[in-house]
Amino acid sequence: MKHVPKVIAHRGASGVAPENTLAAVEQAWAENADGLECDVRLTSDCQVVCIHDVDTERVGDRKLIVEEHTYEGLEQVDVGAFKSDAYTGERIPLLSEWLMDIPERKRVLIELKTGEEILTPLFEVLDASSVPLPQVVIIVFDTEMVNALKVRRPELQVYWLIDVQSNWLGRSKLKLDDVLETAKALCADGLGLRCHSGIHREMVQQILEADLELNIWTVDDPSDARRYADFGVTSISSNFPRAMREAMQ
């Protein structure tokens, strides 16, 4: 049977809807995504919110630094109009809102954009959510954060993210054997690699044989999606989940 990786909607279906908004969640389910990916930060009043950047300038109608403002203040920022007038009025959601009504067996990948200060508020949100923990994956670049997550909540699934282009291929800062050894030492459940032409079949097979799941982000080219499907990756993250699924079938 042909292998088709799970398709994760990157920041929601952000090719159509504004990233990290509830509209992007709705669009992801409309496109039959297998899961969602979002980025989270902490507000000044310790609320976990879905936003990628350190401030709202790129996606909002004004510039506010997330960690310096309460959620009540950040909620006033329009983060939809930058995408199109149809999304005017979209606001920054709480992670707790993002986690509402997640269908059975759909996955949620949550990228932590801050340090350990977010962990306790994050755990509180997850514990209060109706989403079963096996459907949740925490993804993070910092190995110290991977370790902190697995020490404090070993039952959580955690992926170690690696920017292949800047930290691996072409510069030899990391070797695959070293990556696998580190991942094992950290008790990571998987790796997340940036989409790159240098990712090859043997690399993917070594990762999978090390009992690690493998997600590739951000895959928006149908030929890349087909290539990674052929390699057998666990999942891909895309801004256009419907198009990538169709390309792989």
- Domain with 19 in it: what CATH number? 3.20.20.190
In this prediction the pTM is 0.96
Under 8 Å between Cβ of 214 and 233: yes
Say how many domains are in the chain. Answer: 1
Q: Is residue 75 part of a domain?
A: no
Collapse the DSSP code of 207 into the 3-class scheme (helix H, G, I; strand E, B; otherwise coil) and give the result.
helix
- What pLDDT score was predicted for residue 168? 59
Which two structure tokens, joined as six digits, stand for 26? 């709705």
- What pLDDT score was predicted for residue 216? 98
Q: Is residue 14 part of a domain?
A: yes
Residues 6+ apart with CB under 8 A from 99: 108, 125, 126, 129, 130, 131
Q: Is residue 70 part of a domain?
A: no
> Residue 160 corresponds to which amino acid?
W
Q: Is residue 82 part of a domain?
A: no
Task: Concatenate the DSSP letters of all residues of 17-41 into one string.
Answer: SPTTSHHHHHHHHHTT-SEEEEEEE
- What pLDDT score was predicted for residue 1? 80
- What pLDDT score was predicted for residue 85? 98
Spatial distance between the Cα atoms of 96 and 80, rounded to a whole number of angstroms: 19
Under 8 Å between Cβ of 229 and 4: yes
- What pLDDT score was predicted for residue 175? 84
> Residue 216 corresponds to which amino acid?
I
Q: Is residue 209 part of a domain?
A: yes
Q: Is residue 92 part of a domain?
A: no
- What pLDDT score was predicted for residue 7? 99
Nearest to 11 by CA among 23, 1, 2, 74: 23
Nearest to 119 by CA among 41, 39, 36: 41
Q: Is residue 168 part of a domain?
A: yes
Spatial distance between the Cα atoms of 87 and 20, rounded to a whole number of angstroms: 13
Collapse the DSSP code of 139 into the 3-class scheme (helix H, G, I; strand E, B; otherwise coil) and give the result.
strand
Q: Is residue 71 part of a domain?
A: no
Full domain range(s) for residue 41: 6-54+98-248
pLDDT in tens, the chain (249 residues): 889 999 999 999 999 999 999 999 999 999 999 999 999 999 999 999 999 999 999 999 999 999 999 999 999 999 999 999 999 999 999 999 999 999 999 999 999 999 999 999 999 999 999 999 999 999 999 999 999 999 999 999 999 999 876 665 545 456 888 899 999 999 999 999 999 888 999 999 999 999 999 999 999 999 999 999 999 999 999 999 999 999 999
- What pLDDT score was predicted for residue 151? 98
